[in-house]
Amino acid sequence: MIKEISAKSVLHFHDQTFATNWDVNIYRGCGHGCTYCFARYSHRYLENADFFNDIFVKTNVAEVLDREMSRKSWRKLPVNVGGVTDAYQPAEEKYRLMPKVLRVFIKHRNPMVIVTKSILPLRDIDLIGQLAKIAEVNVRVSVSTLDEKIRKITEPDSPPASDRLNMLGAFREAGCRIGVLIMPVIPMLTDSEENLRAIFEMAQKNRVNFVETGTLHLRVGTRDPFMEMVRKNFPDHFRRMNEIYSGPNADESYKNFLQPIIRKIKSEYSPWPVYTPPVKVAESGQDLQLSLF
């Protein structure tokens, strides 16, 4: 089900700094179908709503964003377009809201972050490049595995990770900073040195500015469907996965296993610039403007 809605506000502050403290979510829900998606919680207040199949489209997002960025209190801080959903998810092919949003960012010369699993941003590369000439633009893709058999199970409605990685070079040429998020690293499924090294190699080939890694996190609402996916598709790993995730985070034994592998690979592809999020800015809007990187 796709439902068109009108938003009253679209610029949202959150206390946790990841890329930035400000988000604009064009959609609610996401059609990529990632079995590990942390954002399922965002549908919990919607009665009988399915995060992957019930997509809410904020058709007036550009108009509201323009109004909010026009306020004197707005300090042109970096904004992540898609904090709990992908702005370039399948519904965007039909609704084409991002070109309108990009024109608002261009009008206000506002820095932008795009985090995506899609290759649809290539459609808007001219607008994204136009923004990059006047404000900081960071395009980063999230990947977990180059194994297509696993990808088709864990994130069934996303394009192949290799296509996402190869897209980045075009955005570097357009003047954007580009990055790769190897997130999540899934125990026993995507954590092999071979898989991680292959992703780093493709990142290097496309001359990315940084690579970040993050281990699978299973928050409330994600754990049960994820574990059912493992039980059904990877039964040999089901017991160990439950042991590793007695809570939302991987246990210490697994972290002690994974961290040396990550350090080893990073050192071989060094030097990777260290990504440092901007200093947290109060929601009230202090008179402070920061570069994203």
pLDDT digits (tens, 9 = 90+) for 213-236: 999 999 878 999 999 999 999 999
Separation CA 219–CA 146 (nearest Å): 25
Quick one: pLDDT at residue 16?
74
> pLDDT per residue over 171-213, tens digit each?
999 999 999 999 999 999 999 999 999 999 999 999 999 999 9
> Residue 77: what residue type?
L
Q: How much is the mean pLDDT over the chain? A: 89
Separation CA 133–CA 176 (nearest Å): 9
| CATH code of domain 2-268 | 3.80.30.30
Q: Which residues pair with 163 in a beta bridge?
A: none
Strand 11-18 versus strand 20-24 pairing type: antiparallel
Q: Which residues pair with 113 in a beta bridge?
A: 80, 138
Structural domain boundaries in the chain: 2-268
Comparing CA positions, the residue from 209, 211, 122 lying closest to residue 174 is: 122
Residue 81 near residue 26 (C-beta atoms within 8 A): yes
Separation CA 26–CA 185 (nearest Å): 27
> pLDDT per residue over 17-61, tens digit each?
677 889 999 998 897 889 998 766 554 555 556 777 789 999 999
**pLDDT of 162 above 60:** yes
